[in-house]
Amino acid sequence: MNDYHALLARREAMRLRDQLLSPTARPAPAAAPPRASGRTAAPAPGAYDGAADRELIIRHLTEVTPFEQLIAHLYDAMFERHPYLRKLFPESMEFQRAHLGRAFWFLIENLDRPDEVDSFCTRLGRDHRKLGVLPVHYQVFEAALLEALQRFTGGRLGDDVTDAWLRMIRRATAGMVRGAEEAIAEPAYWSAAVTHHQRRRPDLAVLRVRPSGTYPYRAGQYATLQTPLLPLTWRHYSMAGAPGPDGELEFHVRRTGPDGVSDALVNDTGVGDTLRLGPAQGTTVLGDDLGRDVLIVAGGTGWATAKALLEDLAARRPPGRSAHLFLGARTSGDLYDAQALARLENRCPWLRVVPVLDDGPGEHRSVVEAVAAYGDFSGHTAFVSGPPAMVTATAWHLTGIGVPADRVHHDPVADTTPHALMR
């Protein structure tokens, strides 16, 4: 029976993918709201020109931002038309809205880099299987987006801009459908038993978990975790280490407020508990070409990503290559993984670690200012992880000194205009 449903889902996915990729595709008639001009959306035929769409969307960004409002309209439209979908989402939509906002920024920023968009979206589609998302939901989403664009702009957004948005979303959903389809043989999520739980600070815990089966990932990637205390709610955390022989994963979790997943993981989780683990995502990985020196800039629990990248680098570094790590923390007491850092430093003579403390001696310098003052990193490949504003400021600085944007790697950031939008 399960095979039958898998087959049906696969057929539906293929049908939808063909429809989405067809240059003359139309939105599902039942779901498509009327457009300002009264016509339904019809992306222009011909090869997809992501760079042109990127430019058009950016030129009209002020009409559709802040995204929080656009996205609020989008979910309103979706739940008004399809109330049953509400139960797929947690009670609070706050995180969901921020997550979608991040995805919008990422797509717009990278629209002229189809490979980047495709790999982001296929991973996202693979990840969304754990939420019970079906191909038909993407059509519903597209219709809701069109309606939101119309509601939010009072129908004043030009058809050319709306079409550019539509093409962008179709490109993304085609990638997501493809990702879900390619992952049909793997679990939608893994059970993961907690094998270690240590509070390193009142608000921070280091956890180790053992997934129920082989869990494929690359150093620098992140995954979503769900605790049985908060069903339907998933949060992202980086695997704080390269894949190891015991198959265990380490996560660094800081509680940012009451009643959330991080709070439950820090305060109400212990050895023997079982979590759910979504598939690995993210493109902040070293890649195969290690032909340049590496700069890693991390802040707070962004250290988790840096730790994984450094372990990977230690295993694969070509002779002669060096790495710099700038690690920002508010106080020396906030350096919660100092022993692991010291071990790495001892083991890796090619690694230079520069801690940057907010309360350090002398005039206060931010991590970004410390990087800027240290030396010339324009020939490096850079990896940045930490608070969104820190990531954006660092990426701005690095592209400003001439590091090409495709050599500045970081996960999508929320709440700030991505630096590359100003390219």
Ligand X SMILES: NC(=O)C1=CN([C@@H]2O[C@H](COP(=O)(O)OP(=O)(O)OC[C@H]3O[C@@H](n4cnc5c(N)ncnc54)[C@H](O)[C@@H]3O)[C@@H](O)[C@H]2O)C=CC1
Q: Which stretch binds ligand X (CB under 6 A): 4-12, 285-293, 318-326, 384-392?
A: 384-392
Q: Is 122 an interacting residue with respect to ligand X (CB under 6 A)? A: no
CA distances from 299 to 345, 378, 380 (A): 18, 21, 19
What are the tokens at 382?
Answer: 């850079």
The answer to whether residue 369 forms part of the interface with ligand X (CB under 6 A) is no
Asked if residue 254 binds ligand X (CB under 6 A), the reply is yes
Phi, psi of 112 (to 5 degrees): -90, 5
CA 252 – CA 269 distance, rounded (Å):
13
Binding segment for ligand X (CB under 6 A), chosen from 104-112, 128-136, 226-234, 381-389, is 381-389
22 versus 256: smaller Cβ distance to ligand X = 256
Angular region, 285: left φ>0, alpha ψ -120 to 50, beta rest? beta
Going by C-alpha positions, the residue among 254, 211, 215 that lies closest to residue 236 is 254
**Residues near 324 by Cβ (< 8 Å), separated by ≥ 6?**
293, 294, 295, 296, 351, 352, 353, 354, 374, 377, 380
Q: How many residues bind ligand X (CB under 6 A)?
A: 25
Binding flag, residue 238, ligand X (CB under 6 A): yes
CB 15 to ligand X: min, Å? 37
State the nearest-atom distance from the C-beta of 251 to ligand X, in Å. 6
Q: Are 350 and 356 in contact (CB under 8 A)?
A: no
Give the per-residue contact string, 208-237, with ligand X (x = CB under 6 A; - = no).
-----------------------------x
249-254 and 204-211: which strand pairing? antiparallel
CB of 365 to ligand X, least distance (A): 10
Among 302, 325, 341, 418, binds ligand X (CB under 6 A): 302
**241 contributes a contact to ligand X by CB under 6 A:** no
Would you say 92 or 256 has its CB closer to ligand X? 256
Closer by beta carbon to ligand X, 122 or else 238: 238
- For residue 384, give the nearest of 402, 354, 404, 409 by alpha carbon: 409
Among 35, 252, 307, 397, binds ligand X (CB under 6 A): 252
Report the residue from 122, 150, 221, 301 that binds ligand X according to the rule CB under 6 A: 301
Residues 146 and 32: beta-carbon distance below 8 Å: yes
Candidates 79-87, 173-181, 186-194, 298-306: pick the segment binding ligand X (CB under 6 A): 298-306
Q: Which one among 101, 220, 300, 418 touches ligand X, defined by CB under 6 A?
A: 300
| Whole-number Å distance between alpha carbons of 253 and 262 | 6
Interface positions, 304-363, toward ligand X (CB under 6 A): 304-305, 328-330, 334, 356, 358
- Residue 226: C-alpha distances to residues 208, 232, 367 (Å): 14, 8, 32
Q: How far is the CB of 330 from ligand X (least distance, A)?
A: 5
* Dist. CA 127–CA 131, nearest whole Å: 8
Residues that bind ligand X (CB under 6 A): 237-238, 252, 254, 299-302, 304-305, 328-330, 334, 356, 358, 366-367, 385-390, 393
